Amino acid sequence: MVTLTRAEGTWTGDLDLTRRSIALALAGGYAVAAYSADAETITTDTAGLVTETVEIQAADRKIPGFLARPAAKGKHPVIFVNSEVFGVHEWVKDICRRLAKAGYVALAPDLFVRTGDPSKTTDMTVVMNIVKAQPEAQVLGDTTASLKYLAAQPYADMKRLGTTGFCWGGGAVWRDCETFPEFKAGVAWYGPLKAGPYPRVPPLDGVKDLKCPVLGLYGGQDKGIPAADIEAMRAALKAAGKDGEIIVYPDSQHGFLADYRTSYDPKASADAWPKMLAFFKKHGVA
């Protein structure tokens, strides 16, 4: 039995992995360190979609990415997907399929590929070491390369470009929107806001540079992102005169959208997902 902890704090109900859980996670392509054998995972079908693994030419090498898009002809709005700390595993791929069902081209690049696959280990220390090994300049460079790849595709309407992400990727969303003028809107799911274990500018420190509206979706029971951090971000947005909104689900934990693990909150997820889509539509990403 393996007891897991993480750098940002411990999830409520953090996981004691059984051999059965590990086997099920590996078979399904889910992150081993967070998978719950009792989870009722959501699987989105590919009817009416094109899904594929693509190669993106970054500065130093090619990186893989998972892409899902409507099969219908024409140009479609685009969502850049930043994964959680477990990388581009099955749940992130399903998020891309869900977005494609909503009419988007969704691309999730493997931003951790140079140092390992965090989805395949039971050890959260190993997971965090892989994630912490990615300097922000590299991540932003890979994001630039991914946007260049998308701009070359005949089905991608880059004038309708948004970004979303989860956990580590939620923090990356804030940084995307503070860095790239190409994004029209971002939706950050429970992304860290202050300085932490990741080698990047804390989102709070970059608010003055925010280039588009951001919707933050957070859990009130998240031990790694306290209410004080959220209030500090709200205050920073107001002081900088930036367009941002943060919604807190009081009873939800970190990872409340992740249906493959014990933190999943179906009620909060059912409310938050359409709010994300409505936010994108409001800001021209639809």
User: Annotated catalytic sites, by residue?
Assistant: 167, 222, 254
Establish how many alpha carbons lie within 13 A of residue 31's alpha carbon, considering only the half-sphere containing its beta carbon: 27
Q: Where are the beta strands (DSSP E) in 44-176?
A: 49-57, 62-70, 76-82, 105-109, 156-166
Q: How far is CA 234 from CA 18, 36, 127, in A?
A: 41, 34, 30
Q: Hey, how many other C-beta atoms are within 10 angstroms of the C-beta on 254?
A: 26
* CA separation for the pair 234, 99 (Å, rounded): 27
Measured at the CA of 194, the angle between CA 191 and CA 199, to 5 degrees, comes to: 85
Sequence-ordered list of residues with C-beta below 8 angstroms from that of 126, at least 6 positions apart, any chain: 116, 118
Do 112 and 130 form a contact (C-beta atoms < 8 A)? yes
Q: Hey, how many other C-beta atoms are within 10 angstroms of the C-beta on 126?
A: 14
Do 108 and 65 form a contact (C-beta atoms < 8 A)? yes
Q: Hey, how many other C-beta atoms are within 10 angstroms of the C-beta on 68?
A: 26
